[in-house]
Structure 1
Amino acid sequence: MRITFQRGLAGLAVLAAMAVAPVTPAHADDAPVARLTFSGDDHVAYNSAYAFTSTTAGMNMGVYLNDNGGRIFVSVYGPSEVWHKPQSGVTTDNFHLTLAAPSGEQLAVGTYQDAYRWGSGTANPTMELSGNGRGCWQLIGSFTVHQLTVVDGAVKKLDATFEQHCEMHTEVVRGRLLVGIDDMPPLTADRPVPEVNEAVALQTWLPTRSVLKMRVPQRRAVVTGTVTCSGGGTFTYRGAIVQDSSASGSYTGTGPCTGSPEPFTAHVVSTSGVPFRSGSASVTIEVFPTTDAYYLLGGEDRFLDMQYWATVGQPQSMNTGSAAAQDGPVAAEARPAGAVTGSHLLVRKPIRRH
């Protein structure tokens, strides 16, 4: 069972502290640029992605080295640079991250396994990502310090990745903290903007069958559209077509985020036992970017989830090409390339034996 910060006096105290914007560290003008990114399907990330950069307008972000170099604390108060699901009652994002070595030790380059919730009094490494009124009562996680430079008690350069499981569940949030890193790659979790044709084409073909057996016409619906997203990453789309709760099938695919409209074509065969036909149909589509390997952004954050009514056109015969060569699921025994479409029976003359 997940326990949020709203439960218990300790949770109320944490919420009260979170409601106050963090204090900007001394000599903020000289502080290196910092960026915190994370995403996941756990209780804290809430099936969304987040990105915060200290130089973004309206952002109040601080990175502090505490406990004689044994703990890094990060506070962010301001707008995320990548879109995420709106949260009721939250108008400005407010998150905190703690990464701490075992008690009495200083943080150093390396991997820290079996990290528990900070403040739990354990001899293990500790950590905690919380914010927007969400957090873990207990957790298990790990983090890796890839690079760390400290000058006069201040973090000048840091590259760290982390993952956290709330209440020891399998759901996870993964993220990255960068400080003073030159040439940070651009954020790639832009929100895709799809356009889908409201008319869905219907194709029909005759699969190859054995001798003297009737060839049953096969049909599939074809959904076309475009997706626009930038940043050099990729997007994934998936959806379904349903006609009167009888004929139904799903589709999925990927494409590049180039900043220009990228076309996609999805071929959908009904898997319900009832074929698609001409007429009205419900079409759904979800579009989201795939995980960014550098910032650990993306995950299952569905940037668009839409449904519309489409008109399935009259069937059109496939005279050339192979149905099996198209993307998406197709029926078994698809017509091979070069086969002739027709409805007659194939009859072989008997062989006369003497």
Structure 2
Amino acid sequence: MVNSLGGYAMRVPSRAFSRLARTTRFIAASLSLGAVTEFLASSPAQAVEVESGTFSVVSEIGDPVGGGYPYAYTDGEGSADAMHAGWSDDGNRLTVIVLGANGDRWDVVMGAEYGKQLAPGTYTDAADTPTLGAPRLDVSGTFYGCESEGSFTIDRMVLGPRGYVEALDASFEQHCVGHEPGLTGQVHLTNPPPPAELALGVGLADSGTVGADGVPTVHGTVTCTEPVNVLVNGRIDQVVTKGSLATASYYTRVDCTPGTPAAWTATGTTNGGVPFERGNATVEFKAQAPDPVYGHTVVTDLGTSDVSLRRS
């Protein structure tokens, strides 16, 4: 890593906005695409830390964003710098976030024209808030971003599922509107092939219990392809002797480890005041857990099965 803004005093240009000067080392797994702030709106659904990458910027004297300094960062084994990358759900734009060990932060958003997929190539007449039919480029530094225009070239881009970026080689040039001096930069990153998404399975035993208080208990197992904490929930219905409908909802959590089914047991919370009895009941069940890599919630299909309740 080379250089930071240090003690350099710079004026905020017209229509420039303040950026966070420091962030934590780790970016939250989920960056909402629908948030109202411009920063979150330009961020990918999931920004994953890069295994190996470099990011460099050369700022000309008079450029408000970089202050006329060169910058260089490396993410990899033994490096204290960090790079994160992700692409939007619609495939329109890609975001790279750089966190320097000294507290520097850079955000780069490269996007195709509205409604189009981002692909390798050169994009000219780009802007931070582009008009319809123009591509997007938004480069902001530790303290500043600006109303800007520029161009970028993507030489190589390999994308995986859920915003995962396997490889990227790109360069960019940006000028704040009203300022001839600008900045140029390059980003190169490499990740392993994308990990498989989390898969869950859930099963329900064909027998359960009902207590003297008329409260039912059901049980089953869950399976997973990654270590996760799984939420199991559902509904229990039973037509009792007098023709009334007994209903209950239930939920429980269980830690799951790949390769070994994890047992779960849940006691229902009755609704409506009708107690359960011995006999058959209809049980709905499903399981869900957050994917530890991609951040989205994986939910199994809703299952329905008959369960024989016996007195506990």
Q: TM-score, normalised by structure 2?
A: 0.46
Identify the structure with the greater strand proportion: 2
